[in-house]
Amino acid sequence: MFTRRNFAGLAAAGLAAPALIHPGLAQPAWSPTRSIRVFVGAVAGGGTDITTRIVMAKMQALLGRPIVVENRPGGAGNIASEATVTAAPDGHTLMMGTIASLVMNPLLTRLTFDMMTDLTPIGRSVDVTNFLVVTADRPWRNLADLITAARVQPEAISYGSSGVGSAGHLAGALLEQRCGIRTVHVPYRGGGQLITDILSGKVDYSVATAATTLQHIEAGRLRALGVPSAARSALAPDVPTVAEAAGIPGYEIPNWYALLGPRALPEPIVTRLHAALVESLRDPEVAAALSRHGLEPVPSTGAELARFMREETARWGPILREAGANAN
């Protein structure tokens, strides 16, 4: 139940939903007056980009205006975040944020803006399935083989991620810390670039989204050694969890995306955008398209997203410090 105490707690964290409206005062419905931009902090072809394009195609139809997905890679997603933070709060500029841009990067780097106070949460969009993969020509048949090789040759094995602070970066840093190995992190400007270099063998392994890896796993070009989640994935039920494969109890790396706008986005705008987001995520065709890429719709309210961001930040801060993760 959403109580006054809940609201006070969110407000104290700078993540409260827009001001509550007196029930006796009718609020005019908001509609966009021009095209809407949605920033993605990675190159095209990665999980965030794929998710955004699927969901925005439906939202565009619901809102009656074109929605343009703009890829703003760089700065580990911070370029897209800053472009959103500095935009006018009129509903025509949004961003699809990730666990990397909204939680991990603020913990790893010093930013000129505050994710907790300079953005308006609209709602979560999806949870993301990831796989730990190597190319099929690598000698490691399972995760234990890879870990053994990394112990024998410290810093000889590299892992790629979609950027600093991404789920893939955290997965590699935590694997190092829990297994006592040293590897080399190679950050990219998104999953699209990453998958190209995984397939070409420029990096040895990666934890990357099902959206970019599954087709290559099914085609035999990549070998999945583990799933960094609490349970196996229905997309590849024969692939063990990393906890199973490496004997690491509790190893679990979340990955999720969410829709946000600039600070002080008026309540009627948030209400309309949230309604369009939820209707899009519940659309059977959209849900089916997302599912094919290992993406599970998890619609939420803006207040729920605000609380979730706060909880994730509190959860992962100590883990990042313990794992020795940094902005490299």
Same domain, 198 and 101: no
What's the per-residue H, E or C state across the chain? CCCHHHHHHHHHCCCCCCCCCCCCCCCCCCCCCCCEEEEECCCCCCHHHHHHHHHHHHHHHHHCCCEEEEECCCHHHHHHHHHHHCCCCCCCEEEEEEHHHHHHHHHHCCCCCCCCCCEEEEEEEEEECEEEEEECCCCCCCHHHHHHHHHHCCCCCEEEECCCCCHHHHHHHHHHHHHCCCCEEEECCCHHHHHHHHHHCCCCEEEEEHHHHHHHHHCCCEEEEEECCCCCCCCCCCCCEHHHHHCCCCCCCCCEEEEEEECCCCHHHHHHHHHHHHHHHHCHHHHHHHHCCCEEECCCCHHHHHHHHHHHHHHHHHHHHHHCCCCC
- Tokens, residue 202: 């420029």
Cα 288-128-185 angle, rounded to 5 deg: 145
- Does 66 share its domain with 40? yes
Q: Check which CATH number belongs to the domain holding 226 and give it.
A: 3.40.190.10
pLDDT of residue 27: 52
pTM beyond cutoff 0.75: yes
In a domain, 22, yes or no: no
Structure tokens belonging to residue 254: 């979340």
pLDDT of residue 281: 98
Q: Residue 177: inside a domain, yes or no?
A: yes
- Check whether residue 237 and residue 270 sit in a common domain: no
**CATH number where 78 lies:** 3.40.190.150
The answer to whether 121 touches 267, Cβ cutoff 8 Å, is no
Clarify whether residues 123 and 138 are in a common domain: no
> Of the residues 246, 264, 296, which one is the last residue of a structural domain?
246
Distance of CA 312 to the CA centre of its chain: 12
Both 156 and 220 in a single domain?
yes
Low-confidence ranges of the chain (pLDDT < 50): 1-26
Go through 272-295 and write b for each residue having 16 or more CB atoms within 10 A of its CB, e for each that does not.
bbbebbbebbebeebbebbbebbb
Residues 6+ apart with CB under 8 A from 260: 84, 94, 95, 97, 102, 119, 120, 121, 122, 305
Q: Does residue 8 sit within a domain?
A: no
Domain hosting 137: range is 130-246
Is residue 64 one of the residues assigned to a domain? yes
Looking at the fold, whether 211 and 119 belong to one and the same domain comes out as no
Same domain, 123 and 259: yes
Distance, in Å, from the CA atom of 2 to the CA atom of 53, rounded to the nearest integer, reads 32
Query: Is 113 found in the same domain as 90?
Result: yes
With beta carbons less than 8 A apart as the criterion, state whether 314 and 130 touch: no
pLDDT computed for residue 74 by the predictor: 86
Indicate whether 66 and 96 sit together in one domain.
Answer: yes
Closest listed residue to residue 241, CA positions, set 225, 254, 256, 218: 225
Please give the Cα distance from 113 to 263 (Å, whole number).
11
Chain centroid to CA 280: how far? 18
Which of 246, 276, 300 delimits the end of a domain?
A: 246
Which residues have CB under 8 Å from 199's CB, separation 6+? 135, 216, 221, 222
Residue 250 phi, psi dihedral angles, 5° rounding: 80, 5
**What is the total count of domains within the chain?**
2
Is 130:207 a contact under the CB 8 Å cutoff?
Answer: yes
Residue 283 lies in a domain: yes
Residues 233 and 266 in one domain: no
Give the CA dihedral 98, 220, 249, 323, nearest 10 degrees.
-50
Shared-domain flag, residues 59 and 92: yes
- Does residue 78 belong to any structural domain of this protein? yes
Residue where a domain terminates, one of 197, 216, 246: 246
pLDDT computed for residue 309 by the predictor? 96
Same domain, 72 and 213: no
